[in-house]
A and B are shown apart, each in its own frame.
Chain A
Amino acid sequence: MLLDISNLTVKYPSRHGEFTALKDVTLTLEAGEILGLVGESGAGKSTVGNAVIGLLAKPGFVDHGRITLTGQQLVGRPEPEMELLRGARVGMIFQDPMTSLNPLETVGWQLCETIMLHKHCTRRAARTHAIDMMESVGIRDAGERFDHYPHQFSGGMRQRVVIALAICGDPDVIIADEPTTALDVSVQSTILDLLRTICRERGVGMILVTHDMGVIAEVADRVAVMYRGEVVEVGKTREILTAPQHKYTQSLISAVPRADVKIERFPLISYIEDAGTPDLARLKARWTKPKGAQSDIALSVRDMSVEFITQRAWTGRKSKVFRAVQSVSFDIPRGTTLGIVGESGSGKSTIARTIAGIYQPAEGEVTLNGMSLTKASTRDAKLRRRDLQMIFQDPYSSLNARMRVQQIIAEPILFQKGRAARDEAMRTADDLLDIVGLGGAAGRKFPHEFSGGQRQRISIARALATGANFIICDEPTSALDVSIQAQLLNLLKDLQQELGLTLLFISHDLPVVRQMCDRVCVMKKGVIVEQQETEQLFASPQHAYSQQLLALAPKLLR
């Protein structure tokens, strides 16, 4: 056995008493094996990795338990001895390749430094070895790139450099902490392939920490599922994914959106309760029909382009312009959901913000409920946008931390109806909180007293406050754990059904899109490359890029 963790318990002393981050965690790892460590935020999965390498964040400490690496006990070893082990016996790969490298030194310098430290060799020999390493992790023209600085590499290439740095001391165990989370899907799978190759060829044991079941399904040999500091289930990847024994694992897996088939609702998740059940009947009573001219098309976008000035011209010279969105067109029929998918930087969020009026389009027309938003005075456009609201990605920044929840939800009502409507606005706010399952009493609290999923519910309540019937959802669940995501997506579906809402759903997550959307636009570099009915797209993608995206998306079962 390569690595043996038994009864590992880690505690963090804090103002409110001791917090137990890990409770009697027992795991084993063989050479050449990839052990997936999966769990939602706060499960303690990163803490396991940090404990193994002896880099627990202060003031955390190992309360009891053993970590044995080929017979050597690691817990309680003095820092100078741990220093000798790091890199040489245990290596680590972090999540964000953008910040993992020293920006002021060349990649080669950083490699040589590490190699000379572990191999006790000359600079010449280290250089040769470093170039070998760079080639083996798939960096082309390694001899030339040796002298480049980190900022001259792309994100995926940087993560390769990070991997080279982690394995150049020939460690027996590598801890990879969310190694692909910060990367785009297309890069993600190549990095996962690389990690698997390294383990097989070098006989390295790897603990792969991740929140993503898809990543686990793709590379892990065995999986350990963690929940609130405890390992609830360990087993072969296939067995865990197909026949989970523990209730938590069952609800976790059922909450993962499936890319292979569309289901009406996510199965009810009983193990994790984030909020009460929504009370939808009450909502309908206060719902107002959309104002103005009616049409079957809720939103129509024609040849819309959006530009950003990247370098302002001062004299004569033309300003440099970046076209974030290039003449896109789509319609969303009333009561349906249109999805926009694409990798980061594809322009999908820009579209959402332009429709919402935060950016101005350079060309094209946007029509909401049959009324133009672009060919109207600022004042009119503002009035017409009252039927439109937005739900944002980041639950931590989308609510003003200095306002009470009730004020946050009441604000749009007060703004439209004036101070006189204060009592009514407050009552509506409490009702809405009930409706999204938080309970009216939640209104007296501040946003920081809620979890991420609960905050997204507050966001939804705010979007519904003025009776808007068109809602833009900009990656509304990508910052959430899967179980919370499932609940929230269910809530959105229910609301849509009850109220006939029209949704524009922006996401990078194909399975989520399949579950939520009627039609999908696939975007790449500001252009819609394919627009298709969802089921048809997933069944037979036409454009090469759509095919690539679908092929690369991690699948739970293969």
Chain B
Amino acid sequence: MTGTIFDIKEMAVHDGPGIRTTVFFKGCPLRCRWCHNPEGLSGEPQLMFKSARCKGCGACFIPCSHEDCKPFGRCLHVCPQNALEIAGKRVNATELAKELIKCAEFLGDGFGGFTFSGGEPTSQIEFLLSLAKELKGYHLCIETCGYTDKKNWQKILDTFDFIIMDIKLADDEQHKKFTGVSNKIILENFETLKKSKKPYIIRTPLIPDITDTADNLDAIKSIIADSNWEKIPYNAAAGAKYKMLGMEYKL
């Protein structure tokens, strides 16, 4: 079983209890305008060009014979500044699990567990579940937008020990406008989560004038009631990576 990830990060402080390693899955069904991980949106590997490093030598435009460079039309193995990187690589669940466990075993009882983030981990549900199976016995946490069908959602609840779920906008029209999809499934899934007795936390990114309005926050509060709720401050540097991917930051 293989899947596409774009990063592995050790000691991610805000991704669940204890010292954790976080795996970032590539691909997301939402298109939140404020997304600070744009390389997580598409499910395919993408060329990231770090223009601040580029000194304009042009070496990467000289045709090369490397197999992995072909899809991108640029040579990835020549930049003296390492300005070109590929976001996203195909990995095998068993091998990835082996690598992750190496780190966990090193930490011993100081290890908190693994967190799957993205992108949206449920967008690669088969890969996600097979990776989780390989890591059985560890504390597993997922960071999800909750936008996945009921059947998959139930599997997520059965598999993970801790759920970090976003509720960004309470109003469906607003949700469609700013994330590209309806929040209907998300709110239904939240109800299932609430009943499941699974430990969870709800997160809302505070985007000025969009999610960070009294109306929206009050409405979310009335949906989630006394659930644990974290409001995440807007990341002013969120737009930085768009240009590297040749994408436009719309905020």
Partners in one complex: no
Chain B residues with a Cβ under 8 A of chain A? none
Chain A residues with a Cβ under 8 A of chain B? none
